[in-house]
Amino acid sequence: MAFSNLTPTACITCLNASNQFCLPSSSPFKSLKFPLFWPWEKVKTGPLTVSPMGFGTWAWGNQLLWGYQQSMDSQLQQVFNLAVENGINLFDTADSYGTGRLNGQSEKLLGKFIREFRGKKRIKDEIVIATKFAAYPWRLTAGQFVEACRASRDRMQIEQIGIGQLHWSTANYAPPQEFALWGGLVAIYEKGLVKAVGVSNYGPKQLVKIYDYLKARGVPLSSAQVQFSLISMGEDQMEIKNICDSLGIRLISYSPLGLGMLTGKYTPSRLPRGPRGLLFKQILPGLEPLLVSLREIAEKRSKTIPQVAINWCLCKGTIPIPGVKTVKQAEENLGALGWHLSSNELLQLDYAAQESPRRMIQNIFQTK
């Protein structure tokens, strides 16, 4: 995992007395441990071995929420290369990522970046793409789910998808469709289109049901992806975590930074543009106790607030998949690896989260 391409011009200049590589002053991080994590810190997700943190690509193609423009693609490729060169091999996407004519753009870009990656073949071969297939109203049969999987594979131009995931459950509004889509998960696994299967936005009760359904058909449920962060750790989320631990399902935590509310960049008077701004206006004023604790720990450890928030997810035994759009964000996210919050710091953050009167609005697609 070399740092030779940490930024377009960065190079290692020295090895200091603490055995840390020092980067040029132009880098936002004066020194980073090498490597960012050790091989034994990788985690098993079903039959796959993945980095302790992945990167999410929701923003890659999404104009409405994240302001994507195709002119960003060259920087996104730098982000991808930086991540892979520093040991990140898990990338999460979905067939619904991308707005309008750009639907599926995230998958297309990931496939392109993999093909054009110039690093070692072994590193390229270890990349795991976890993509999600939407439970669209017109996907009513297992066969249609299989076709969706094939379409994603074709967009990425890869032989086999790492983890094929059902993006959300339809149990709350279309139970018959739910069982057809479960059959689709079995089919894509049996046909060898994916190496493993997972689910997203499943609550505790429905998670146990699909686990039992798949197990009865000889298909292991490898992962469950839910919104999980310091502002999304309610009873349901903690119950999901406990179920995953007991059943051997790997919990993948999306939005570990609460769509950006846990970055420290925003205040009630300084909000992001677009739909996020409306959400932040409701929630940010009630997060002060938590943000104060995050800032305090970050300053003591010479870390940033996002790094502390992501590390909290790591310490909880989840695989966080923070979203990335820029090289700067990628560098900062990578700084969440290679260290661990103390038990006292975890307790402090847990308490501050409980004392904060506002919480993240739960995904409407998450079932009970």
* HSE-up of residue 17 (Cα within 13 Å, Cβ side): 0
* Per-residue model confidence (pLDDT) at position 2: 39
Query: Within a domain: residue 12?
Result: no
Element (H, E) at 236: helix 235-247
| CA distance linking residue 304 with residue 328, whole number of Å | 12
pLDDT tens per residue across span 66-109: 677 888 899 999 999 999 999 999 999 999 988 777 788 999 99
Query: Within a domain: residue 321?
Result: yes
- Asked if the model's pLDDT at residue 142 lies above 50, the reply is yes
Q: pLDDT grade, residue 360 (50/70/90)?
A: low
Query: Within a domain: residue 208?
Result: yes
The mean pLDDT of 18-34, rounded to a whole number, is 42
Whole-number mean pLDDT of the chain?
A: 87
- The tokens 């960012």 sit on which residue? 36
Residue whose C-alpha is closest to residue 254's, from 61, 57, 16, 28: 57
For residue 358 the two structure tokens come to: 């506002």
The mean pLDDT of 307-315, rounded to a whole number, is 97
* pTM recorded for the entire structure: 0.87
210: CATH = 3.20.20.100
Q: pLDDT grade, residue 59 (50/70/90)?
A: confident
Query: Within a domain: residue 51?
Result: yes
> Active-site residue among 68, 97, 211, 254?
97
CB 102 within 8 Å of CB 67:
no
For residue 224 the two structure tokens come to: 């469950």
CA distances from 85 to 64, 91, 263, 328, 332 (A): 30, 14, 25, 15, 15
| CA distance linking residue 56 with residue 75, whole number of Å | 15
CA distances from 114 to 28, 83, 129, 230 (A): 26, 12, 10, 32
The mean pLDDT of 156-166, rounded to a whole number, is 97
**In degrees rounded to 5, what are phi and psi of residue 223?**
-145, 155
The mean pLDDT of 174-179, rounded to a whole number, is 94
Quote the number of domains for the chain: 1
Q: pLDDT grade, residue 43 (50/70/90)?
A: very high
| CA distance linking residue 304 with residue 297, whole number of Å | 9
For residue 291 the two structure tokens come to: 């943000």
CA distances from 47 to 18, 128, 171, 180, 200 (A): 37, 11, 28, 25, 18
* Per-residue model confidence (pLDDT) at position 277: 83
| CA distance linking residue 54 with residue 58, whole number of Å | 13
Instruction: For the chain, give the percent of residues with pLDDT over 90.
Output: 67
b/e map 140-175, b = 16+ CB within 10 Å:
bebebbbebbeebbebbebeebbbbbbbbbbbeeee
Task: Name the residue range of residue 202's domain.
Answer: 41-259+316-326
Under DSSP, the state recorded for 176 is H
* Per-residue model confidence (pLDDT) at position 361: 60
Query: Within a domain: residue 332?
Result: no
* Per-residue model confidence (pLDDT) at position 87: 93
Q: Is 122 helix (H, G, I), strand (E, B) or coil?
A: helix
Least confident of 48-62, 95-109, 301-315, 341-355: 95-109
pLDDT tens per residue across span 256-278: 999 888 998 888 888 888 888 88
* Per-residue model confidence (pLDDT) at position 276: 82
Query: Within a domain: residue 309?
Result: no
Query: Within a domain: residue 140?
Result: yes
Burial degree of 12 (CB within 10 A; 0-12, 13-18, 19+) = middle
| CA distance linking residue 334 with residue 34, whole number of Å | 11
For residue 80 the two structure tokens come to: 């991808």
The mean pLDDT of 230-248, rounded to a whole number, is 92
Is 254 marked active-site?
Answer: no
Residue whose C-alpha is closest to residue 330's, from 17, 61, 76, 115: 76
Query: Within a domain: residue 91?
Result: yes
Under DSSP, the state recorded for 129 is E
